[in-house]
Amino acid sequence: MREPYPPLEPRRSGWLDTGDGHEIWFEDCGALHGLPVVFLHGGPGSGCKPLHRQFFDPARYRIVLLDQRGCGRSRPLGEVRANTTQHLIDDLELLRATLGIERWVVFGGSWGATLGLCYAAAHPVRVLALVLRGSFLARPSDLDWFFRDGASRLFPQAWERLRSAVTPVERSELLAALYRRVFGPDPAERNRAVQAWQDWGGSVALANLPAPSEKDLPVELLAQAGSSMAPGAEPAQPGERKPEAATVPRVPVPATEGLAQARLLASTRIELHYAAARYFVADDPVLARAARCPRVPTFIVHGERDFTCTPEAALALHAVLPWAELELLPGTGHLASEPRMTTALIAITDRLPGLFA
C-alpha cells in the first residue's frame, strides 16, 4: 500500500475576500510552476486538513486548497447566507484568477466530487483533468438511501439515536426538525442535534474500519467521518415546508463554544442548509451537468463498501462520462484515508503530470 507524501506547509496562505460578506481561506503549496491542482473537500461543511496536501508530489504539483464558505478557517464560521453551490463555483473561479492559474486539475471526494462536476460543467475550459472519489450525485435516490430506507437498515441503532434528537411527532420531517435545532437558541437542543448528526454520519462512514472506542478517535477524524461525509437530507413529505435559502436565519456560531465544538456546529449547519435546499442542484441535476463536462482525463474511484455514497453512483457517473477510467476498490469504504483508496488516488496523481508534459 502506498503512503501519502510527507507533510508539507503552504508556500502562501490567507483569506480571499469574495465581496459579499465571506472570506475564503486558501493555501498554495508545492511547486510554483508545477501542475496546478485544486483539492475540493467534502461535506458540504467540512474543510481542508493537512493530509489533503499529501495526495500530490510537491515537487511536481502546485497544490491549491480552500475551505468553502463558512467552513474550516473561512469567515464567518458557519455562515449560510450567500452560500449556495453557485457561490462555491464562483469562488473557485475567483481563486483561480487571483492565483494566476490558467487551467487546473480538479480533485474532489464525496461532496467535493459533486462540486468538481458542477464547476467543470460551468467552466470547462479551465479544467485539465478530473479526479472524483466516492462521488455524491445528490439524486433523490441518494437522499432516500441516506435518510429513509437504506442506510437506516444497516445501522439501526445510530438511526434511532438520530431520530431521538427530535420529538416523535417531528420524525416525519426529520431534516426540518434538526434544522430548527441547530439554528435555534437552546444550547442543549442544539448540541444534542449536532451530536446525533455527527454520530449518524460517522457510523455510516466509518463502518468499513475496525471499531476503536470513541476515546481513541481524534476529533479531526470524528469530524471528517461525520458532517464532511454524510450527504444527508430527508426527502420532502407532502405538504412539508422546508427552509428556503432566502429565509435562512443569520445565527452566528456562539463564541462560548470551544473551537472543535464550534466547527462541528458550523459544519452541521452548513450541511443541513445545503440538504434542505437539495444542494441547490434540483433544477439542473448533477448528472445533467456531468454530461456538459469537458472530455479531459477523468478518473472515477469508489469503494465497494462505501455505505455513505453507494458504488452505484460511480457506475451511473461512468455511463455519462464513458471516457473516464472507473475503479471500484474491494474492501474499501468512503474515506480517502483508507489504505486502498489512498494508494489508488496517489497512483492517479503520480500519472497525471506525465499526461501534460
The amino acid occupying position 125 is V
What is the structure's pLDDT at 46?
A: 94
Reply yes or no on whether the pLDDT at 222 is more than 50. no
**Alpha helices per DSSP H over the chain:** 85-98, 111-122, 140-147, 151-154, 156-163, 174-182, 187-205, 219-225, 259-276, 286-290, 312-320, 339-355
The cell for 40 is 475540493
Q: Which domains does the chain have, with CATH numbers?
A: 12-138+282-355 (3.40.50.1820), 140-280 (no CATH)
DSSP per position, 248-271: ----PPPTTS-HHHHHHHHHHHHH
Average pLDDT over residues 115-133: 99
Q: DSSP code of 75? A: B
| Cβ-based burial of 312 (10 A; exposed 0-12, middle 13-18, buried ≥19) | middle
Give the 3-state secondary structure of residue 200: helix
Contacts of 208 (CB under 8 A, 6+ apart): 303, 305, 306, 307, 331, 332, 333, 334, 335, 338
Distance CA 349, CA 347 (A): 6
pLDDT-based confidence at residue 254 (cuts at 50, 70, 90): low
| Catalytic positions, written as ranges | 110, 306, 334
What is the structure's pLDDT at 258?
A: 79
What is the structure's pLDDT at 244?
A: 34
Reply yes or no on whether the pLDDT at 252 is more than 90. no
Reply yes or no on whether the pLDDT at 277 is more than 50. yes
pLDDT-based confidence at residue 147 (cuts at 50, 70, 90): confident
Residue with cell 468538481: 116
Answer whether 137's CB lies under 8 Å from 160's CB: no
Residue with cell 478517535: 217
Distance CA 302, CA 322 (A): 16
pTM: predicted TM-score of the whole model, two decimal places: 0.89
What is the structure's pLDDT at 210?
A: 74
What is the structure's pLDDT at 148?
A: 80
CA-CA-CA-CA torsion sign (313, 317, 323, 324): negative
Answer whether 277's CB lies under 8 Å from 111's CB: no
Average pLDDT over residues 19-29: 98
Contacts of 164 (CB under 8 A, 6+ apart): 196
Burial 36-52 (b: 16+ CB within 10 A, else e): bbbbbbbbbbbbbbeeb
| pLDDT, tens digit, 9 for 90 and up, residues 45-76 | 999 999 999 999 999 999 999 999 999 999 99
Share of the chain above pLDDT 70, in %: 87
| pLDDT, tens digit, 9 for 90 and up, residues 158-171 | 999 999 999 999 99
pLDDT-based confidence at residue 5 (cuts at 50, 70, 90): very high
Answer whether 321's CB lies under 8 Å from 290's CB: yes
Give the 3-state secondary structure of residue 140: helix
Phi, psi torsion values for 228, nearest 5 degrees: -75, -10
* Mean pLDDT rounded to a whole number for the chain: 89
Q: Is the peptide bond before 156 cis (omega within 30 degrees of 0)?
A: no
Average pLDDT over residues 323-347: 98
